[in-house]
């Protein structure tokens, strides 16, 4: 039977999933999909003080949201289960006893002392004192460690709790993991893992340590980063689409053939080759993410985009005149300017808020000589209408412009800046007919009257 490569993602369920977790998971998953291998999810919940079932659940939801699926895991099962580390405790203890019996591990701090388990001491792995340990990293080549510098690691705490080094390697071996993909921060522990595999006479997996992700200042991403939040919930709340984040995260450390920037699952399957992975740190670039997100948003129909925007607007504004048709029309107006869904809140303020403040430029425009007559003329035009829609607004404005230019010599900005200031409080924005079509006759008239009254 040909051996299928087996990849895994093994998160510790502490706190809220962040972008680093998902990046690691995504790369491991993508390699599994490219190689036609299996992808296994294992929850490493052996630290009762820090791990919670809620965090494990949140991790699974975040993975699913991003579009990562797993072939074996706590929820779907599989023939190598259980996939929750705490449920494998007996096996970890069995291996610890085996190492102790073979004198490959010892209790206490002194490797020369024979101690019994009863002494309430941690169990340590006995590492070689001379020579070197070479970690063959598939991305980085051989990484050499001088054994003199390695400290015998604790495998089992004095309270009997097996630690990560032991538990993860035993599980990786027992689950038939052929490729360990994880973050660069694990390189320092890798010689311990190599020695553990060796002590147990097991065949080592392929080691793949992914580069760090840094912010633009070259710092590791942190929760309180000034450039933005890196929790998955931060991205969800800002309105990034999962497809866009999926795409963007793939580009952090991998380059597809032809350097294209829009990648989907199909391209991953075809092209996610190890040789195209980078070893230098990737820089998280919000502008690039916004660009990618915009591409995905622009692919959506007005109706679909409106459906995604709606909860953001419902949160931000009360008492909305939000019929479905009106919201779809509003979406069509603002869509060229949206990079992420939460942008819709600011971009639609003129559509929801009637008592907006005027910007300084808007005040200035309303104080020019043409402002008063222009607005009065528009009021009389609108008053005569039954309904104000976009084509009607367009023809009214065109006519006004022609008339006022001929009669008074006023130019487009003389006419349209005061109108825009009166209708939105700003002197720039989406085309006026679009705005007028959205706010409609009554609200347009109220806003024009307010401007005449002096705000």
**Residue 182 near ligand GLU by CB under 6 A:** yes
Collapsing DSSP to helix, strand or coil, 65 comes out as: helix
51 or 290, CB closer to ligand GLU? 51
The window from 6-14, 71-79, 237-245, 412-420 that contacts ligand GLU (CB under 6 A) reads 6-14
**Residue 44 near ligand GLU by CB under 6 A:** yes
Phi, psi at residue 188, to the nearest 5°?
A: -60, -30
The window from 4-12, 64-72, 312-320, 425-433 that contacts ligand GLU (CB under 6 A) reads 4-12
Of the candidate residues 5, 11, 122, 437, the single one contacting ligand GLU (CB under 6 A)? 11
Footprint of ligand GLU on 157-176 (CB under 6 A): 168
Of the candidate residues 5, 6, 12, 439, the single one contacting ligand GLU (CB under 6 A)? 12
Provide the phi-psi class of 229: left if phi over 0, else alpha when psi is between -120 and 50, else beta: beta
CB of 11 to ligand GLU, least distance (A): 5
> To which H or E segment does residue 166 belong?
helix 164-174
Would you give the end-to-end CA distance of the chain in angstroms?
A: 80
| Strand locations in 102-198 (E) | 105-107, 123-125, 132-137, 141-146, 154-156, 179-183
Q: Are residues 408 and 452 in contact, defined by beta-carbon separation less than 8 angstroms?
A: no
CB of 9 to ligand GLU, least distance (A): 7
72 or 343, CB closer to ligand GLU? 72
5 or 425, CB closer to ligand GLU? 5
Q: Are residues 134 and 162 in contact, defined by beta-carbon separation less than 8 angstroms?
A: no
Residue with nearest beta carbon to ligand GLU: 182
Footprint of ligand GLU on 96-155 (CB under 6 A): none
The window from 10-18, 111-119, 312-320, 416-424 that contacts ligand GLU (CB under 6 A) reads 10-18
The Cα–Cα gap between 301 and 322 comes to 18
**Residue 43 near ligand GLU by CB under 6 A:** no
19 Cβ neighbours under 8 A, 6+ residues apart: 213, 221, 230, 231, 232, 235, 249, 284
Q: Are residues 240 and 293 in contact, defined by beta-carbon separation less than 8 angstroms?
A: yes
CB of 1 to ligand GLU, least distance (A): 27
Q: Which two tokens stand for residue 328?
A: 């779809």
User: Annotated catalytic residue: which of 151, 216, 223, 340?
Assistant: 223
Distances (CA, A) of 7 to 35, 40, 117, 133, 217: 10, 6, 35, 24, 32
CB atoms within 10 A of CB 390: 18
Q: In Å, how far from its chain's centre is CA 435? A: 33
Of the candidate residues 5, 6, 7, 10, the single one contacting ligand GLU (CB under 6 A)? 10
Provide the phi-psi class of 10: left if phi over 0, else alpha when psi is between -120 and 50, else beta: beta
12 or 133, CB closer to ligand GLU? 12
The window from 5-13, 90-98, 344-352, 447-455 that contacts ligand GLU (CB under 6 A) reads 5-13
Q: In Å, how far from its chain's centre is CA 380? A: 51
**Residue 59 near ligand GLU by CB under 6 A:** no
The Cα–Cα gap between 143 and 134 comes to 6
**Residue 45 near ligand GLU by CB under 6 A:** no
41 or 99, CB closer to ligand GLU? 41
Distances (CA, A) of 186 to 35, 211, 336, 454: 24, 11, 43, 65
Which residue is it, tokens 């109706």? Answer: 303
The window from 8-16, 237-245, 268-276, 385-393 that contacts ligand GLU (CB under 6 A) reads 8-16
CB of 284 to ligand GLU, least distance (A): 19
The Cα–Cα gap between 19 and 25 comes to 10
Reference 195, options 237, 107, 134; nearest CA is 134
Q: How many residues bind ligand GLU (CB under 6 A)?
A: 7
15 or 455, CB closer to ligand GLU? 15
223 as an active site residue: the answer is yes
The window from 7-15, 65-73, 89-97, 421-429 that contacts ligand GLU (CB under 6 A) reads 7-15
Catalytic residues: 223
Which residues sit at the interface with ligand GLU, rule CB under 6 A?
10-12, 44, 168, 182, 186
């Amino acid at each position: 039977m040909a051996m299928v490569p087996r990849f895994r993602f093994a998160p510790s369920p502490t706190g809220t999933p962040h972008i680093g977790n998902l990046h690691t998971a995504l790369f491991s998953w993508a390699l599994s999909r490219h190689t036609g291998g299996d992808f296994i999810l294992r929850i490493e919940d052996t630290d009762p003080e820090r791990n919670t079932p809620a965090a494990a659940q949140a991790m699974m939801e975040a993975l699913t949201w991003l579009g990562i699926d797993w072939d074996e895991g706590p929820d779907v099962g599989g023939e190598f289960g259980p996939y929750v580390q705490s449920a494998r405790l007996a096996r970890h203890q069995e291996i610890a006893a085996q190492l102790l019996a073979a004198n490959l591990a010892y209790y206490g701090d002194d490797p020369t002392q024979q101690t019994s388990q009863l002494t309430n001491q941690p169990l340590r792995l006995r590492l070689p004192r001379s020579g070197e340990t070479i970690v063959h990293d598939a991305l980085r080549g051989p990484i050499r460690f001088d054994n003199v510098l390695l400290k015998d690691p604790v495998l089992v705490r004095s309270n009997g709790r097996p630690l990560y080094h032991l538990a993860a390697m035993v599980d990786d071996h027992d689950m038939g993991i052929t490729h360990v993909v994880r973050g660069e921060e694990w390189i320092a522990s890798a010689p311990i893992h190599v020695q553990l595999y060796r002590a147990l006479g097991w065949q080592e997996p392929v080691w793949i340590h992914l580069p760090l992700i840094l912010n633009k200042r070259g710092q590791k991403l942190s929760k309180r980063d000034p450039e933005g939040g890196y929790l998955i919930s931060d991205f969800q709340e800002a309105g990034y689409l999962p497809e866009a984040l999926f795409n963007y995260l793939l580009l952090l450390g991998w380059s597809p053939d032809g350097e294209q920037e829009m990648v989907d699952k199909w391209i991953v399957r075809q092209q996610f080759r190890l040789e195209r992975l980078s070893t230098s740190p990737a820089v998280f670039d919000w502008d690039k993410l916004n660009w990618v997100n915009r591409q995905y948003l622009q692919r959506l129909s007005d109706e679909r985009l409106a459906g995604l925007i709606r909860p953001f607007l419902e949160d931000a504004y009360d008492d909305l005149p939000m019929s479905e048709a009106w919201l779809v029309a509003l979406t069509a107006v603002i869509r060229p300017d949206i990079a992420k869904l939460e942008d819709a809140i600011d971009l639609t303020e003129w559509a929801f808020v009637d008592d907006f403040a005027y910007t300084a430029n808007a005040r200035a425009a309303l104080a020019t000589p043409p402002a008063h007559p222009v607005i009065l003329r528009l009021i009389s035009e609108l008053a005569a209408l039954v309904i104000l829609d976009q084509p009607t607004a367009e023809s009214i404005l065109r006519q006004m412009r022609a008339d006022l230019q001929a009669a008074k010599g006023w130019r487009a900005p003389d006419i349209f800046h005061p109108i825009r200031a009166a209708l939105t409080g700003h002197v720039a924005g989406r085309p006026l007919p679009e705005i007028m079509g959205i706010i409609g006759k009554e609200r347009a008239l109220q806003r024009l009257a307010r401007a005449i009254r002096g705000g």
